[in-house]
Amino acid sequence: MGKYFDIFVGWFGYKLDPWALLTLGTIANILVVVLPVLLAVAMIVYVDRKVWAAIHLRKGPNIVGPFGLLQSFADGLKVFLKETIIPAGANKFLFLLAPALSLIFGLVGWAVMPFGEGMVISDLNVGILYLFAVSSLAVYGIIIAGWASNSRYAFLGAMRSAAQMVSYEVSIGFVLVCVLMCVGSLNLTDIVLAQKNVMFGVNGYFFSGLFPMFIIFFVSALAETNRTPFDLPEAEEEIVAGFQIEYSSMAMALFYLGEYAAIILMCGMMAILFFGGWLPPIDWAPLYAIPGIIWLLGKMAFFFFCFAWIKMSVPRYRYDQLMRLGWKVFLPVSLVWVVLTSGYLVYFGKLAG
């Protein structure tokens, strides 16, 4: 906040009244984060397609621009010029609201994402709860789209999505509780700083008893963002793209933007909760010479690569298998881990605060 605020003070002097300055500063801050995120979404779609292509032993997008780098922009332009078709039986307002909601919930989470110490729009002291809340809201875009489309396939997709989100949120909640107990704070900056030199000079909770929680979080993140093997809401082969079936042009593009923004946010959450955020992987002085944001973006890119890799390597879960994994495997394991972690912290007197 402070840095950009000062820039604005420098530009306009103190002639503007403080509230106008604060508003301008906040808007500038938001743009500084949101524009790169949207650009990153465009590029990450390209990366996604290139990774899939590599796994398929094909070339992937390589025509538009050097190495096909501009493919996403070409697609965006094409989609922009198409007609938005609204089905006759659809609820018009909700039908158009749904993709917008999907994009909004994909973007608002970035408000608390720390890119470095102090490099954050809003340093909430309940930052992790905010992120949890926002990631659980992403389902509304899908449910509303499914219902407003007035189509059976879309509705089936929406129902699946609702059940899936509610199931996997529970285990994500317990994973977060484990991390929070070790840190003793709900602030994301504190969470990152607490991971300095966890064990043997390694930065990050993954290198400790919390490693199983990282695995559960990773799989639940796949489920929360509707990625394979949990892409039941849009399952092309069963319910022909599910909730997106009636959408065309920009409305559909907004769904994709929101989905990918949420995926990058989840990658960022994993980096911050378990891999020490902007800290280098090993607590060794020369590594701190590289700016923290590069470490953070590198970790996010790695997790995104894993997402793309998984998408091409595993088949889709069946609905009952999905429910079994969520309720009968992840929930008990994460619950037991909460008990174990708290027991360990209390017994060895390591409880923070």
Partner 1 sequence: MVTAITFYILAAVLVTSGIMVVFSKNPVHSVLFLILAFFNAAGLFVLLGAEFVAMILVIVYVGAVAVMFLFVVMMLDINFAELRKGVMEYLWVGLLIGFILLLEMIFIVGGWNMTDGIATTITAATPPINEVTNTEAIGRILYTDNIFLFQLAGLILLVAMIGAIVLTHRKRDGVKKQNIGDQVRRRRDDAYEAIDVKPGSGI
Kindly list the residues in this chain that would bind partner 1 in the complex (CB under 8 A). 19, 94, 124-126, 129-130, 132-133, 136-137, 139-140, 143-144, 147, 155, 158-159, 162-163, 165-166, 169, 186, 320-321, 324, 353
- CB 168 to partner 1: min, Å: 12
Of the pair 71, 135, the CB lying nearest partner 1 is at 135
Distance CA 194, CA 190 (A): 6
Separation of alpha carbons 26 and 4, rounded Å: 8
Which parts of the chain fold into alpha helices (H)?
2-12, 18-56, 71-81, 92-108, 127-137, 139-148, 152-183, 188-193, 211-224, 236-239, 249-274, 292-313, 319-324, 331-347
Residue 66 parent element (H or E):
none
- Between 286 and 353, CB nearer to partner 1: 353
Shortest gap between Cβ of 132 and partner 1 (angstroms)? Answer: 6
Residue 197 CA, chain-centre distance (Å), reads 26
Minimum CB separation from partner 1 for residue 57, in Å? Answer: 32
Cβ atoms of 275 and 294 closer than 8 Å? no
Residue placing its CB nearer to partner 1 in the complex, 48 or 190:
190
To partner 1, the closest distance from the beta carbon of 347 in angstroms equals: 18
User: Any residues with CB less than 8 A from the CB of 182 and at least 6 apart, and which?
Assistant: 194, 205, 210, 341, 345, 352
Q: Which is nearer to partner 1, 165 or 300 (CB)?
A: 165
- Minimum CB distance to partner 1, residue 169 (Å): 7
Closer by beta carbon to partner 1, 17 or else 237: 17
